[in-house]
Amino acid sequence: MALTPLAQIINLPEKCPLAEIQGTVVKVYEHAPFNDKTKQNFSLKDSSGTLVGATAWAHDDLSFYQGKEVIIKAGPKGGLAVNNYKGKPGVSVSATCTFQTVASGTAPQTPVPANHSHSVAPT
């Protein structure tokens, strides 16, 4: 899968599918019901300082990821796409996408699928 730099997202067409993105979750907003599912807005920032807004659909509360570097990967049938809002870079993250945390200097951890517990086993 190809990693799309956050700075490129604003130049991509609306609904352009993405394979994966990476950045630090700098802010997580309220996890709220929306129609028959949930939605939660959050923002990502990469090492170049590019800030991108994102909306996660039908995921558990993402507060766990605030302040952490993550890789968000599309699911088997996609689900990760450009969703720019009023000229601001944005991404839509469907329920089939997975989040991986990236620990400094180590390989990414196992992905956590939507609607799955975020507990971590003691080491």
pLDDT digits (tens, 9 = 90+) for 74-100: 999 999 999 987 878 899 999 999 999
Q: What is the pTM of this model?
A: 0.81
Q: Is 20 exposed, middle or buried (0-12, 13-18, 19+ CB in 10 A)?
A: middle
Q: In the sheet where 20-34 sits, what is the strand order?
A: 80-82, 90-93, 51-57, 37-45, 20-34, 69-73, 98-101
Task: Please determine, for residue 105, whether its predicted confidence score (pLDDT) is greater than 60.
Answer: no
> For 58-76, what is each residue's pLDDT tens digit?
999 999 999 999 999 999 9
> For 11-34, what is each residue's pLDDT tens digit?
899 999 999 999 999 999 999 999
d(CA 62, CA 55): 11
Q: Is 34 exposed, middle or buried (0-12, 13-18, 19+ CB in 10 A)?
A: exposed
The most confident of the ranges 44-48, 83-87, 102-106 is: 44-48
Task: Please determine, for residue 117, whether its predicted confidence score (pLDDT) is greater than 70.
Answer: no
The pLDDT-based confidence of 1 (bands split at 50, 70, 90) is: low
Block residue for tokens 């509360």: 61
